[in-house]
Amino acid sequence: MSTLTAEEAAALLRLNVKRVQILARAGKLPAARVGRKWLFRRQDLEAMLGAPGAVATSQPIMSLSARNRLCGTISRLTVDGLMAEVHVSIGDQELVSVITRGAAEQLGLRVGDEVFAVVKSTEVMIGKEGAE
């Protein structure tokens, strides 16, 4: 999954950055707002442009009120009993979250998956795009 910033999306679409942001805000471009920044999936934009082999994703972009989202890769996953311990590598740091086994199974978490950690107060939640 390749994500683009508003500037990168503007370059791909050959539009002004402000125009890309306006289109995203109006819902005319598939995007997700993270804090004050807009993020775009490259494959969605290429599909809109009609690039050969490009297919738009049918999965909706997730929106959350929490602004403290950290993208990373699952480096270790330990499932034992009712709980799962998820180790997420974020740059050269590692974040550990303990979630229920059911949540890990519902998300289909596997080592190597790209996920995001949502930090809210003293809690760390794990999310994965495309999982119900």
**pLDDT tens for residues 35-84?**
888 888 888 888 887 756 544 454 555 566 656 778 889 999 999 999 99
- The beta-carbon contacts of 72-80 under 8 Å, at least 24 apart in sequence, are 72/114, 72/115, 72/116, 72/117, 73/112, 73/113, 73/114, 73/115, 74/109, 74/110, 74/111, 74/112, 74/113, 74/115, 75/111, 76/111, 77/104, 77/109, 77/110, 77/111, 79/104
pLDDT of the residue at 66:
58
Tens of pLDDT, residues 81-113 = 999 999 999 888 898 999 999 889 988 999 999
What is the set of domains in the chain, with CATH numbers?
3-49 (3.90.105), 69-127 (2.40.50.100)
Tens of pLDDT, residues 26-37 = 888 888 888 888
Tens of pLDDT, residues 5-25 = 999 999 988 899 999 998 888
